[in-house]
Amino acid sequence: MQPFVLSRPKTLAEAAELARASSQDSALRAGGIDLIDRMKEGLEAPARLIELRWLGDAEATMRALGPEGEGVQIGALVTLAQLAAHEGFGEAHAALRQAAGSAATPTIRNAATLGGNLLQRPRCWYFRHADLVCLKKGGTACLAVGGENKFHAILGGGPSFIVHPSTLACALTALDAQVEIRGPEPRTLPIAELFVTPKQDAKREHALQPGEVLVRAILPKPAAEQRSGYAAVKEKQSHDWPLAEAAVKLSLQSGVMTDVRVVLGHVAPIPWRSREAEAVLEGKPPSEALFAEAAKAALAGAKPLRDNAYKIPLAQGLLREVLHRVAGVPLPE
Ligand SMILES: Cc1cc2nc3c(=O)[nH]c(=O)nc-3n(C[C@H](O)[C@H](O)[C@H](O)COP(=O)(O)OP(=O)(O)OC[C@H]3O[C@@H](n4cnc5c(N)ncnc54)[C@H](O)[C@@H]3O)c2cc1C
């Protein structure tokens, strides 16, 4: 690993200005789990790391976790462990607590932050190999297409077939979160607009500009009778990355489902909102037959590569399971 300078700004404005002024040669560091991995793997060698964890008390928003009006604010420096243990999330926001508690390992969850989790880079083995020049690193092709593609995208792929790595992104998209960004032009975006598809720009996964810092996520006021849930399937149940994830939010009023959100993770280059599945479910009473129809609709557009067609029945089964749990319909024997 190359030597680097560690800067410890005390204010967000100072951190953003440092990042803007040295954008070609610096990186913001939160928990450091992904960034330091990338540096150790030889993918990047920034001359300066800008430490976000030393920001002073004036930047309490970055660490806040609690009510914001009738919604919830989550500072970018809140750790996954804090999210997983947060008792303020009721049934309405259970998907986020479950997602945070399922990601990575207890040690990683103690250091990894909301901001870093959303902005981490893909785990594709071709991208992560320092000697390979894939599309994301300025090459001409996604090496997964003709290579080993067991863990790659089945939905929304092309020209790159990475899967988005963030577990929190899947749950926060289902919960209609917004993200607040500070920099030269402060802005707030629906979280779906934070993510960049490979068709928009194959070299990046998020829309932050140099000098911009993600400050917090905000969950809107939940609808009446809102409930949500998340689940993942992994090859081994700990210390592993998901093969597929599903997050669902809905309101159950007078026996019908409304305001339904269905989001799949680790199947596409962005958290994959399935409007097709939502349309099947919206305004109907929950049932096993309807969940099967929604799961089929969610994967109808899948285009698997050579090694990953298994993800279709896997994601369908997972989505059905989460729908059963969230809607309170017992799973069939
Ligand atoms: C064995 C293993 C299993 C894992 N399993 C999972 C899993 O199941 N699900 C999952 O989601 N992740 C998983 N991870 C990844 C891990 O959760 C992420 O690396 C971690 O969440 C990144 O957060 P961080 O705070 O350490 O980010 P950092 O490494 O500090 O930052 C990541 C990136 O975000 C940028 N950044 C950070 N904060 C900000 C900010 N506020 N504003 C602007 N830019 C910012 C940094 O510059 C950097 O580019 C796993 C990792 C390992 C090693």
Among 120, 212, 214, residue to substitute to test ligand 1 (most atoms within 8 Å of Cβ): 120
pLDDT digits (tens, 9 = 90+) for 20-54: 888 789 999 999 999 999 999 999 999 999 999 99
Buried residues in 40-79 as b, exposed as e (16+ CB within 10 A): eeeeeebebbbebeebeeebebbbbbeeeeebbbbbbbbb
The answer to whether residue 302 scores a pLDDT higher than 80 is yes
101 CA → ligand 1 middle, Å: 14
Q: Distance between CA atoms of 257 and 225, rounded to whole angstroms?
A: 10
Task: Sort residue 225 into left (φ over 0), alpha (ψ -120 to 50) or beta.
Answer: left
For the chain, the structural domain boundaries read: 1-50, 60-119+163-219, 226-327
pLDDT digits (tens, 9 = 90+) for 222-281: 999 999 999 999 998 778 999 999 999 999 999 999 999 999 999 999 999 999 999 999
Task: State the pLDDT at residue 20.
Answer: 87
pLDDT digits (tens, 9 = 90+) for 112-165: 999 999 999 999 999 999 999 999 999 999 999 999 999 999 999 999 999 999
pLDDT digits (tens, 9 = 90+) for 179-199: 999 998 999 999 999 999 999
Rounded (10°) angle between helices 94-102 and 167-174:
170
283 CA → ligand 1 middle, Å: 37
Average pLDDT taken over every residue of the chain: 96
Q: Which residues line ligand 1 (CB under 6 A)?
A: 27-35, 52, 76, 103-104, 108, 111-113, 115-117, 119-120, 165-167, 208, 213-214, 239, 241-242
Q: pLDDT band at residue 56, thresholds of 50, 70 and 90?
A: confident
Q: pLDDT band at residue 105, thresholds of 50, 70 and 90?
A: very high
Nearest protein CA to atom 19 of ligand 1, as residue: 34
Side-by-side strand order, sheet with 226-234: 226-234, 242-253, 256-265, 272-273
284 CA → ligand 1 middle, Å: 38
Q: Please give the CATH number for the structural domain made up of 226-327.
A: 3.30.390.50
Q: Please give the CATH number for the structural domain made up of 1-50.
A: 3.30.43
286 CA → ligand 1 middle, Å: 36
Q: Please give the CATH number for the structural domain made up of 60-119+163-219.
A: 3.30.465.10
Q: Distance between CA atoms of 263 and 138, rounded to whole angstroms?
A: 30
Task: State the pLDDT at residue 74.
Answer: 98
| Tokens of residue 286, six digits | 């929950």
Q: Distance between CA atoms of 247 and 245, rounded to whole angstroms?
A: 7
Task: State the pLDDT at residue 21.
Answer: 86
Task: State the pLDDT at residue 235.
Answer: 94
Nearest protein CA to atom 21 of ligand 1, as residue: 117
Task: State the pLDDT at residue 111.
Answer: 98
